[in-house]
Amino acid sequence: MDPTEREVACFEAGIKFGTLYHQFAGTPVSPESAASLERAMEAAVENQPHCTAVDVAILVDELDTTHDYTELTGRYMEVHMRIDYGETVVRTEMRMEDGYPMMRVVDVHEE
Amino acid sequence: MDPTEREVACFEAGIKFGTLYHQFAGTPVSPESAASLERAMEAAVENQPHCTAVDVAILVDELDTTHDYTELTGRYMEVHMRIDYGETVVRTEMRMEDGYPMMRVVDVHEE
Amino acid sequence: MDPTEREVACFEAGIKFGTLYHQFAGTPVSPESAASLERAMEAAVENQPHCTAVDVAILVDELDTTHDYTELTGRYMEVHMRIDYGETVVRTEMRMEDGYPMMRVVDVHEE
Amino acid sequence: MDPTEREVACFEAGIKFGTLYHQFAGTPVSPESAASLERAMEAAVENQPHCTAVDVAILVDELDTTHDYTELTGRYMEVHMRIDYGETVVRTEMRMEDGYPMMRVVDVHEE
């Protein structure tokens, strides 16, 4: 059957997470460049439809600096997003759990 | 409030689309290399949790071959996916509409 | 035979261009987000070894805004880089030529 | 001064390595999907100008399968390429050294 508005809103939320992760995974990142990458990731994904707010925190203290820089992966970031689709608001987050970058719907409600 | 099983299933479906698109957009592609890229995209995304089936069709006749190859974008592919999460099945597709690669939930149901 | 210092410097310069292009091609970009993406691209690639300076100009007036944003490709950017390897300095650029994003070594010399 | 043919050949070789690495880093990969990804990476990069041969070996025994699949990074692959530019042949390779995916020109000669 057709999806409900809430289901479409959650689908849209998922698209944004897959976009953010796979567009930017592998980017060379260092403590010095982390802030500019956070801003660019947020602004890039906020361009997508229904994406109201994106907050990316690169975990600078966790970065492996053995070779001065490393490549961005899920272990080095925490992300929060808000999606507005119709009357529905979806809040999502990504954080590491058991060595896996877990993406999760935190809350869905109508406003 | 917490998402329902169907809403989580739709979120998972969205993640897979964002992954597929932004991991592979920009890949050099030609009529000769298209088939291997289709297979790799399908197998890569099917690795992700709850992703039962991915079908990627690169539109070989549409590829710009002025310079022998071009870069993969949404205009050159159609994608269908099936997500199984708990008892819920989500079917999704991507195709061009008005010059935009539209990703859509086609069907959600419990089995 | 083994490469000369100048040849290795040119190899290093090429790596940076391939990195910059294929890491960021496909990123959602709009006139509003272009500046943050320019900064992030510059800072990310400058992390790589021997990469002294990167200048990215996203051609904001060229961006297709039919759907508010578009995906970054070579047609929307011009890039200049400087590589320092040993005593050798390599200057490179990327710009569109005949619809192809041409990457070129502009100058190689010892300092 | 202008680059020599050999220097341009090395620049072209570098572009291919940056392309291969940053296009595909982050791709979900498992022992089952590795072969299709190897083929797609080879065929994609061989599309690029002057790139005669690419050989990608994903180190299947090294893949972290704690969560069934992992994301492709330099630690999981070895790559060899041949570039032909004018009369010049460049051979390159990538392999891990001290935890860093080192890309190197192995040989440059005229044929």
Do C73 and B99 count as a contact with CB atoms less than 8 A apart? Answer: no
Using alpha carbons only, give the angle B46, B96, C66 rounded to the nearest 5 degrees: 125
Closest CA to D82 of D43, D44, D108, D103: D108
Task: Determine the Cα–Cα distance for residues B83 and C65; give it in Å rounded to an integer.
Answer: 33
Q: Is B12 annotated as a binding residue?
A: yes
- Looking at residue B40, what DSSP letter applies? H
- What tens digit of pLDDT does each residue of A45-76 get? 999 999 999 999 999 999 999 999 999 999 99
Q: Which three-class secondary structure state does DSSP give residue B89? A: strand
The sign of the dihedral angle between the CA atoms of B32, B78, A94, B6 is negative
The residue with greater pLDDT, D1 or C86, is C86
Q: What is the mean pLDDT of chain D?
A: 97
For residue C8, pLDDT beyond 90: yes
Q: Which residues of chain B have pLDDT under 50?
A: none
Closest CA–CA distance from residue D89 to any residue of chain C (Å): 10
- What tens digit of pLDDT does each residue of A1-21 get? 899 999 999 999 999 999 999
Radius of gyration of chain B (CA): 15
Chain B residues touching A81 at Cβ < 8 A: none
For residue C27, pLDDT beyond 90: yes
- What tens digit of pLDDT does each residue of A19-29 get? 999 999 999 99
User: How high is the pLDDT of residue D40?
Assistant: 98
- What tens digit of pLDDT does each residue of D14-59 get? 999 999 999 999 999 999 999 999 999 999 999 999 999 999 999 9
Residue A61 exposed, middle or buried by CB count within 10 Å (0-12, 13-18, 19+)? exposed
List the chains bordering chain D where 3 or more Cβ pairs fall under 8 Å: A, B, C
User: How high is the pLDDT of residue D92?
Assistant: 98
Closest CA–CA distance from residue D66 to any residue of chain A (Å): 9
Task: Determine the Cα–Cα distance for residues D44 and B5; give it in Å rounded to an integer.
Answer: 38
The stretch C37-57 carries a mean pLDDT of 98
Interface probe for A, chosen from D73, D76, D77, D96 (most Cβ of A below 10 Å), is D73
Chain D: residue nearest C21 by CA? D19
DSSP string, C51-77: EEEEEEEE-GGG---TTS-EE--GGGE
Chain A residues touching D73 at Cβ < 8 A: 26, 71, 73
User: How high is the pLDDT of residue D99?
Assistant: 85
Q: Is D96 annotated as a binding residue?
A: no
Residue-range domain boundaries for chain C: 5-110
User: How high is the pLDDT of residue C99?
Assistant: 85
Do D20 and C18 count as a contact with CB atoms less than 8 A apart? Answer: yes
Per the CATH hierarchy, to which homologous superfamily does domain D5-110 belong? 7,8-dihydroneopterin aldolase (MptD) (3.30.1300.20)
